[in-house]
Amino acid sequence: MTETIASLLQEGRTFYPPEELVKNSNVKKFMEKHGIENYEELLEKAKDTEWFWNEMVKEVGIEWYSPPKKVLEWEPPFVKWFIGGKYNIAHDALDKQAKLRKNKVAYIWEGEPGDVRKLTYGELSREVNRFANVLKEMGVKKGDRVTIWLPMIPELPIAMLACAKIGAIHSVVFSGFSEKALLDRILDAEAKILITADGFYRAGKTIELKNRADSILGSAPSVEKVIVYERCGVSTNMEDGRDYWWHEVLKGIPHSCETEQLDANDILFILYTSGTTGKPKGVIHAHGGYAVGVASTLKMIFDLKEDDIWWCSADIGWITGHSYIVYGPLILGATSIMYEGAPTYPAPDRWWDIIEKYGVTVFYTAPTAIRMFMRLGEDYPQKHDLSSLRLLGTVGEPINPEAWLWYYKYIGNEKCQIMDTWWQTETGMQLISPLPITPLKPGSATKPFPGIEADVFDSEGNSLYKKNAGGFLVITKPWPAMLRGLWRAEERYISTYWSTYKDIYFTGDAARIDEDGYFWIQGRLDDVLNVSGHRIGNSEVESALVSHPMVSEAAVVGKPHEVKGEAIVAFVVVKSHVKPDEKLKKELTEHVAKEIGKIARPDEIYFVSDLPKTRSGKIMRRVCRAVMLGKDPGDISTLANPEAVEVVKKAAETGEICYG
Ligand code: PRX
């Protein structure tokens, strides 16, 4: 295998899109319609923001209750799109589809044990209406927050869409997060309702949800009612007047529900994401612009057509699932796959089995998953007929050329264009990505989507466009699915994204743009880790460790990892009376899992007597990381305790407890 990949991997090789793909692509048709000759001309013409996004509105068939008077109002750092438009995303995702595509399947869902459910647009719309009526009966009103802690089951999109329909704001919490993380998000959003399940199936096990939620609900006074979907038959205590079974509250509920006619700029959802402090940020997205952004990127980048079978393997608990499992595909009236469980259960070919079984045509996943499958070997995909695939995609982290080529060869059979899409929870939609007409360079997300203006700046704010020099990735003009702020944290919104350069969106990523104008994303600049494509704040893990009664200080840093991208390494100082040992390491690992979730568990823990600090007492993660990686820590003379550097170094080298 390595040999074939090596021969494919020639430095600087460009992969041209298959002619068939280009000829029939949605983007090509769009260009023909407007007399646009080539890619460069498309990018140039799309700089006319009003024109381009108005055209995208038509392309994806957005239906307003009353049309907007203006496309964009930009008063940095606040943006409004489609001003004056009356709208609800649920209309395009559901109401319209229930008429146009009543009997077309919206979701083919497969549970981990192998159970299958297919929901047509007609059925989905009916279920959403019923659930929206339940929420209304429970007193949920426009603008109220509803926290949803559900696994990958159809009830998750149903609950989200029901909120949208009545103008409530959903806040989905990833089902892999801990109950403590759930509590933090409920408290921040002041959610009135919690929607959860008894549990779900993952890697052959039952993971409980409701029983765990019970342990924090006493601390969440805003939650008036809890609706519980029965997925696994786990018994749970149902508190009278607070807890309701999903199937019971739906009894006798009418199938129709008026969709609330909102302002295009009303809030659709909050989604929490990690930042540089211990407290996650509540990223806000609004109905109108978000709808246009997600549907147009999906149509133009992933080229979705009426008969495609689309599979985005992300979890709906992340932005990728919000945008490209729920809203984007439904607005386009697509058929999507949804899978509940672990990718390798019961065997490492589960995903390839799903692709073959349902004839998936367009597949979107994460580099970390590709690297994992690459390690397991190509025998697994080769056992299956994957010839239905015509287009592939990745998201979440830079894809290394080896993984890119493996994906290209063994999953795409050397005939599928790979869309390496760069974007963020904050951007809501894909911003830098190839189109079906774009020549590819493995490892590069290629160029900004039409209408998007991205650049790389040096620290003075000079453009490094086509200079092939590393700098800060920025977006210089607003885009429709741009975040509208952080939930009740305006200052943080301004300081995180708008303070580095005036009126320019700061992404927090390092990148370079090569001589051909191709973007190469290099990773995060701030103290945020990217573990298996998940954003985890170093300080979140540190706060979790320090909340353990035996810990006094912690420094958490990332270390390159073959499959995960980055592994989490923690240097921990315990309290003076504590004797650190292996047992405590295990306990701390489990403690982090309880505080945040299993995804944030440190891969390595080192006990040290001291951590390098500045004179003002700030722990120097940068120094810890450098010595852990055997690199020069740089100038340490300004540290309050330069001797701590040796302690950290010895601990990382020997794995010994460097204490006392
Ligand atoms: O560092 C970039 C990385 O993921 C970050 C965004 O994480 P999150 O908000 O969780 O959203 C992930 C899914 C959209 C970015 O700041 N990232 C995302 N896509 C890519 C990427 N890095 C390199 N290449 C990508 N294609």
pLDDT, tens digit, 9 for 90 and up, residues 441-478? 999 999 999 999 999 999 999 999 999 999 999 999 99
Q: Is residue 97 part of a domain?
A: no
Kindly state whether residues 566 and 638 are assigned to the same domain.
Answer: yes
Q: Nearest C-alpha to atom 18 of ligand 1 is from which residue?
A: 396
Q: Which amino acid is at 162?
A: A
Query: Which of 521, 525, 526 to mutate to test ligand 1, by most ligand atoms within 8 A of the CB atom?
Result: 521
Instruction: Say how many Å lie between the CA of residue 295 and the centre of ligand 1.
Output: 19
pLDDT at 183: 98
Q: Is residue 610 part of a domain?
A: yes
Burial class (CB in 10 A: 0-12, 13-18, 19+), 208: middle
Whether the CB-CB separation of 558 and 539 falls below 8 Å is answered with: no
The fraction of the chain above a pLDDT of 90, given in percent, is 95
Task: Point out the domain boundary residue: 396, 417, 452.
Answer: 452
pLDDT, tens digit, 9 for 90 and up, residues 504-543? 999 999 999 999 999 999 999 989 999 999 999 999 999 9
Give the residue-averaged pLDDT of 592-613.
Answer: 96
Cα atoms in the 13 Å half-sphere on the side-chain side of 288: 27
Q: Is residue 351 part of a domain?
A: no
Quote the CA–CA distance of 223 and 201 in Å, as a whole number. Answer: 26
Quote the CA–CA distance of 376 and 532 in Å, as a whole number. Answer: 16
Whether the CB-CB separation of 354 and 322 falls below 8 Å is answered with: no
Instruction: Say how many Å lie between the CA of residue 423 and the centre of ligand 1.
Output: 5
Kindly state whether residues 59 and 128 are assigned to the same domain.
Answer: no
CB atoms within 10 A of CB 207: 17
Instruction: Say how many Å lie between the CA of residue 421 and the centre of ligand 1.
Output: 8
pLDDT band at 1 (very low <50, low <70, confident <90, very high): very low
Task: Point out the domain boundary residue: 397, 429, 452.
Answer: 452
Residue 430 CA, closest ligand 1 atom number: 14
Which domain covers residue 444, as residue numbers? 24-88+265-308+361-452
How many domains does the chain contain in total?
3
Query: Which of 422, 506, 520 to mutate to test ligand 1, by most ligand atoms within 8 A of the CB atom?
Result: 422
Strand-pair partners of 312: 364
pLDDT at 660: 52
Instruction: Say how many Å lie between the CA of residue 449 and the centre of ligand 1.
Output: 15
pLDDT at 659 over 90: no
Quote the CA–CA distance of 442 and 406 in Å, as a whole number. Answer: 11
Quote the CA–CA distance of 637 and 134 in Å, as a whole number. Answer: 64
Kindly state whether residues 394 and 443 are assigned to the same domain.
Answer: yes
Question: In the structure, which protein residues have their CB atom closer than 6 angstroms to any atom of ligand 1?
Answer: 273, 319-320, 395-398, 420-425, 445, 507-509, 521, 523-524, 530, 535
Q: Is residue 345 part of a domain?
A: no
Residue 394 CA, closest ligand 1 atom number: 26
Whether the CB-CB separation of 332 and 102 falls below 8 Å is answered with: no
Q: Nearest C-alpha to atom 22 of ligand 1 is from which residue?
A: 397
Kindly state whether residues 377 and 283 are assigned to the same domain.
Answer: yes
- CATH number of the structural domain spanning residue 152: 3.40.50.980
- CATH number of the structural domain spanning residue 641: 3.30.300.30
Query: Which of 519, 535, 536 to mutate to test ligand 1, by most ligand atoms within 8 A of the CB atom?
Result: 535
User: 């009303």: which residue's tokens?
Assistant: 266
pLDDT at 232 over 50: yes
Give the residue-averaged pLDDT of 320-326.
Answer: 98
Burial class (CB in 10 A: 0-12, 13-18, 19+), 400: middle
Kindly state whether residues 292 and 439 are assigned to the same domain.
Answer: yes
CB atoms within 10 A of CB 622: 13
Kindly state whether residues 232 and 300 are assigned to the same domain.
Answer: no
Kindly state whether residues 434 and 291 are assigned to the same domain.
Answer: yes
Residue 507 CA, closest ligand 1 atom number: 16
pLDDT at 44 over 80: yes
Instruction: Say how many Å lie between the CA of residue 523 and the centre of ligand 1.
Output: 8
Give the residue-averaged pLDDT of 603-628.
Answer: 94
Q: If DSSP codes are grouped into helix, strand and coil, which group holds residue 149?
A: strand
Kindly state whether residues 196 and 81 are assigned to the same domain.
Answer: no
- What's the DSSP call for residue 545? H
Instruction: Say how many Å lie between the CA of residue 454 and the centre of ligand 1.
Output: 15
625 is written with which tokens? 């990381």
Non-local CB neighbours of 250 within 8 Å, separated by 6+ positions? 130, 131, 134
Residue 421 CA, closest ligand 1 atom number: 26
Instruction: Say how many Å lie between the CA of residue 652 and the centre of ligand 1.
Output: 29
pLDDT at 149 over 90: yes
Quote the CA–CA distance of 559 and 628 in Å, as a whole number. Answer: 8
Kindly state whether residues 247 and 293 are assigned to the same domain.
Answer: no
Q: Is residue 47 part of a domain?
A: yes
Whether the CB-CB separation of 237 and 210 falls below 8 Å is answered with: no
Query: Which of 397, 440, 447 to mutate to test ligand 1, by most ligand atoms within 8 A of the CB atom?
Result: 397
Q: For residue 475, which phi and psi values (nearest 5 degrees)?
A: -115, 125
Instruction: Say how many Å lie between the CA of residue 395 and the centre of ligand 1.
Output: 6
Give the residue-averaged pLDDT of 119-123.
Answer: 98
Q: Is residue 203 part of a domain?
A: yes
Task: Point out the domain boundary residue: 422, 452, 482.
Answer: 452
Q: Is residue 140 part of a domain?
A: yes
Kindly state whether residues 187 and 217 are assigned to the same domain.
Answer: yes
Strand-pair partners of 362: 310, 391
Instruction: Say how many Å lie between the CA of residue 229 and the centre of ligand 1.
Output: 32
Q: Is residue 514 part of a domain?
A: no
Query: Which of 429, 509, 520, 526 to mutate to test ligand 1, by most ligand atoms within 8 A of the CB atom?
Result: 509
Residue 425 CA, closest ligand 1 atom number: 9
Kindly state whether residues 180 and 299 are assigned to the same domain.
Answer: no
Q: Residue 363: which of 317, 412, 294, 299 has the closest Cα?
A: 412
Kindly state whether residues 160 and 275 are assigned to the same domain.
Answer: no
pLDDT at 12: 73
